[in-house]
Structure 1
Amino acid sequence: MADGQINDGSSVQYGKTQYWDERYTEDPAQFDWYLRWAGLAVVVQKHVRKNVDTIVLGCGNSRMGADMIDDGYKYVDISLVVVKQMLETYKDSGLKGLKFIHGNACSLEFPDESFDGAIAKATMDVLMCGEGSTSNVYAMCHEVSRVLRPGGVFFVVSHDPGYLQYLDPEQANREFGWKVTMDQIPKPVMNPKNPAVDEKGRPLYHYVYICKKKLSEHGAS
């Protein structure tokens, strides 16, 4: 299942670890927020080649890791419950390089320059629902910049077209060493009787913010 939206009346709970522990305990079925890997791959593969080290922040119980696995992918999630579930789900899968790690996206326990790519699908939206949202978003961005290798790319997937206020190109370049662009992916049609369009019939999109780290401190991106 895919295309869940983080915009209902209970969204304030999304920023709490307890909420996710309870949710995954009550409903362990695999679920993809917004879109599956097949929908996101068209953007990611334009910027990051296959067979590189990639981290997915806030993986939840998505199938995306299994779908994109080639070699060396790692996952980080704040919910210990879901990490245990995913370890159990894939223990006999034979997928080499697929790892699930319990951690904090705002304080990553990886050495500097460990990854070539990072993906946060709905993760920033979740952080924006919790207390200290702005500081948490900046903490995550600083950490992602730290663990990305020069030339690496951070993909932020959101339903919100306004995140350039947090990923302002000039500020992102100054604080995180990123060049930021945005792409958009049409929302998948889950039901032909309910097309993914707004009240004026215009297509609805998911937004992908592409944050590419400079090749060197003084070099071009």
Structure 2
Amino acid sequence: MLITELDGSEVIMAEDDGKLAEGQRRHWQDTYAAHPGMYGDAPSDPAVHAAQVFRSAGAADVLDLGAGHGRDALYFAREGFAVRAVDFSPIGLAQLRGAARAQGIRGRVTTTVHDVREPLPLPDASVDAVFAHMLLCMALSTEEIHALVDEVRRVLRPGGMFVYTVRHTGDAHFGAGTGHGDGIWENGGFAVHFFARDLVDALADGWESNEVHAFVEGGLPRRLWRVTQTRPR
């Protein structure tokens, strides 16, 4: 059912989550195919920060969730980490592998096609660090986000670090475009779950919370939080 709000925005009520998820998968596949390496070669600022945090914690390997075509995963590998890059786009990961070969770091990067709505394909306590730049704020329900963070905690070794970023409700796109409920709004074909601060706080339950840092990125600009938390020993 489609409802038009007074401000002209559209809200889709009772949206089938599976249809939204599959539509987003197709959209990202098409976008990566049309724009190879769309985010460029330089790492994101959160990845540069995360590499410093992970190195200080003695991490040797990094799980990069929602790695896309790999600008951050490749940076971690160049910094000497062993990297497992996970994404639901085979096209994006193929671009990542090609770039890793070209940069001579293919041996430090493995890729896995995986939808994070499903349990992570890793054993318990098997990675030192996890990074996720704007993955948690994709078209995931609040329930799915909680399940994913529980999975991150499961696969991290005790003392392991988790750095993630999310767009929040102070962002210009929040409340604009087409709404899918549960804080998810779609603009230009991209659906985003905009985080309220209480969701960040809820996701920190059972963790040691290190930092919630506000920053901006891009030309809109996008308004985000960078969250750093540790699995207790």
Gaps of 5+ in 2: 1-9, 170-194
Identity %, equivalent residues: 20
**1:154: how far off?**
1.2
CA 1:45–1:26: 2 relative to 1, 3 Å: same
Describe the superposition over 1:112-146 as per-residue Cα deviations: whole angstroms up to 9, x where unpaired.
11111111101011134xxxx11211121111111
Aligned counterpart for 2:155 among listed residues 147, 160, 163: 147
Residue number in structure 2 paired with 1:5: none
Describe the superposition over 1:39-84 as per-residue Cα deviations: whole angstroms up to 9, x where unpaired.
5423552455365111110011241122222131111001112112
Gaps of 5+ in 1: 1-8, 197-203, 216-221
**1:211: how far off?**
2.0
Does the 8 Å CA contact 1:14/1:126 hold for their aligned counterparts? no
Query: TM-score, length-normalised on structure 1?
Result: 0.70
CA 1:123–1:79: 2 relative to 1, 3 Å: same
Tell me if 1:36 matches 2:43.
yes
* RMSD (CA atoms): 3.1
Alignment of 1:1-221 (within 5 A): 15=21, 16-31=24-39, 36-38=43-45, 40-42=47-49, 45-46=52-53, 48-49=55-56, 52-69=60-77, 70-95=80-105, 96-106=107-117, 107-128=119-140, 133-160=141-168, 162-168=195-201, 172-173=204-205, 177-184=206-213, 186-187=215-216, 206-215=224-233
Structure 2 counterpart of 1:183, one-letter code: V
Query: TM-score, length-normalised on structure 2?
Result: 0.67
CA 1:101–1:180: 2 relative to 1, 3 Å: same
CA 1:166–1:30: 2 relative to 1, 3 Å: same
| Structure with greater strand share of residues | 2
